[in-house]
A = this chain, B = another copy of it.
Amino acid sequence: MMFIYEQVEDRIMKFVVAASMTSYCRRFFGKRAYFLTNEFHRHFFQKKSIFASLIYLPKLFIMNKIVERLVALRRLMHEKGIAATIIPSNDPHASEYVADYWKERAWISGFTGSAGTVVVTLEEAGLWTDSRYFLQAEQQLADTGIMLFKEGLPATPSITDWLSQSLTPQSKISINPFLFSVSMVDSLRQAFEESGLSLVTQYDLIAPLWKDRPPLPNDPIMLFTVEHAGKTTQEKLAMVRDVMKQKKVTRYLITSLDEIAWLFNIRGNDVAYVPVAIAYAAIDPESATLFINPQKVSLQVADALNEQGVSIQPYNGIFDYIKRLHVGERILMDQNKANFALFQEIASHCQTVPATSPVLLMKSVKNETELQGIRLAMIKDGIALTRFFIWLEKEIHSDALTEISIADRLREFRAQQPLFQGESFGSIVGYKEHGAIVHYSATPESNATLHADGFLLIDSGGQYLNGTTDITRTIALGTLSSQEKLDFTLVLKGHIALATAKFPIGTRGSQLDILARKALWDKGMNYGHGTGHGVGHFLSVHEGPQSIRMDENPTPLKPGMVISNEPGLYRANQYGIRIENLVAVKEAEATEFGSFLEFETLTLCPIDVQAIELSLLTNQEKDWLNAYHGNVFALLSPHLTPDEKSWLQAKCQPI
């Protein structure tokens, strides 16, 4: 038996031939082929897989980058007795957007999509990702040996099922405890225990291998003045300490970057789209500590924070802080968000009190200053959108616009507005059938050219110093079919039903969700995403705890919460429709039957009347649309040129 390894381009091929064939075979292989005798091969490879074994032959081959990394990882796993490693997309702060420093999954696999988990065993490797990324993953995983597991398909095993089947009992699975929340670790541990596997939570196996790892972002943080925030940090800390008293806890650790930004009235520039800074925080009855790289904090900012009762410690100082906690202290932390590294440090000598982070709920209820700021941001956003749509209407006939080029143009229009800080997420611009892909993001390959025909769906948002926006408009670029108009009108009916809802205090989003779907359900139609998500105040465009979804969420809607109203309809390979405004919950009236709430629609931008089948709207629905358009025109027109104003007036004409 003879084993032949050959490098062909950047892949390694393995061949097994009879020893007698060796000289015959030599003529078919190139310079970079290595012939190993059976004994030599067994010596190195006995009981090990080919990839695991390659670690003993580092100089023999020049491998492709990803294979090289996998080999190095497996060598380390082998040294530590680890049978599998799970490498997620997360950071230690349960962030939606992650700093490059934590992109371990992209580094190990080469797959750069926003969602996906890599699992590496000594023999195999797999990437689990969802339908948005099937194509991209296939391309990026080529020649890496990493298999693609397509999430959401019936035949695809879960990571825990796959590992349970691949590994022998007693095997150890390693995770980086910084990249998993306490609850994630709980559920992994439970799943693995059933199969006799154990979870190891003490290594970051990527760290020693990733030599050119990008540094943690080092940008300075800025103070978010009370003029925009509405409440000082001192006032917010007093609210937090009230909750701590009720819950009888001695400390409260916060790990979410947007919660920290809100509580300390700071903003940063450390990740895409969300103006947060990488930090931890700890509150006790007397003091509050912000754990952040001191280089990011100017003297002036540090002084201002000190004045509010906040002291600064280095980012990793949180671990020293935890070590110094008194034995038996009761520590509040949100186990859905806090990373497991922090938790295991605390749990060694203190009692952790699990609860939804109190700041999450406080932050979701906007104060009057924040709400007023959002209303002003909506005017700026509305002006930018008006100018963008005027431009689009003019340029569409050039047949030269593309999904990507108009997204760039929209960003430019927003950037002309005062207080603009950036986009709140990457715009979704989907023309015709691309609109039916819910999380579509145009790539140079997919980038469609627009023509005066069919539906164009644009979901975009801006970050302004006084508020975060998120709006979807679907517009007709030309004449529509009757089915297109029917679909659009049903989505609009749902949007209006939710916008005009009145409901008793204590109502949850899951109770209201049907209002946005009923017109569709009546016709046997539906959409596969939630109807509403919370929106931050110059913070994350997606925030909890409230939502409007079919799934149960126990959070009642409270006055001051901002949430999106975004029903849609998607016909695969044809078009997508979504109409999204942001709304704020406010008090409606108190009667003998209780106190009632309603929504104030915040977003200011016309809805395309051309796309409506008017005969399907009730008088109340027409009244709402006319009142909405009246408000859009009243609030935007003072800021527009005469030409812009007359364009908007036409779009806001009563129906």
Contact = CB atoms under 8 A, between A and B. Distances in A.
Contact of A502 (B504, B521, B588, B591): B521
A530 to B, nearest CB: 13
Interface string A590-604: 011110100000000
Contacts of A507: 550
B526 A593 contact: yes
Contacts of A552: 508, 510, 552, 554
Interface string A516-530: 001011101110000
Contacts of A522: 502
11 contacts: A501-B518, A503-B514, A503-B521, A504-B526, A508-B552, A511-B550, A514-B515, A524-B591, A525-B593, A526-B593, A552-B554
Contacts of A571: 592
A513 interface: yes
A46 B550 CA distance: 64
Contacts of A453: none
A303 interface: no
Interface residues of A, number: 31
A550 B594 CA distance: 15
A589 interface: yes
A159 to B, nearest CB: 23
Contacts of A520: 593
A512 interface: yes
Given A502-B521, A511-B513, A526-B593, 18 more contacts: A501-B518, A501-B521, A503-B521, A504-B521, A507-B550, A508-B552, A511-B511, A512-B514, A514-B514, A515-B518, A524-B589, A524-B591, A524-B596, A525-B591, A525-B593, A552-B552, A552-B554, A618-B618
Nearest to A570: B593
A513 B501 CA distance: 14
Nearest to A553: B552
Residue of A504, A510, A514, A515 with highest tally of chain B CB at under 10 A: A514
Nearest to A508: B552
Contacts of A592: 571
A525 B594 CA distance: 8
A520 to B, nearest CB: 8
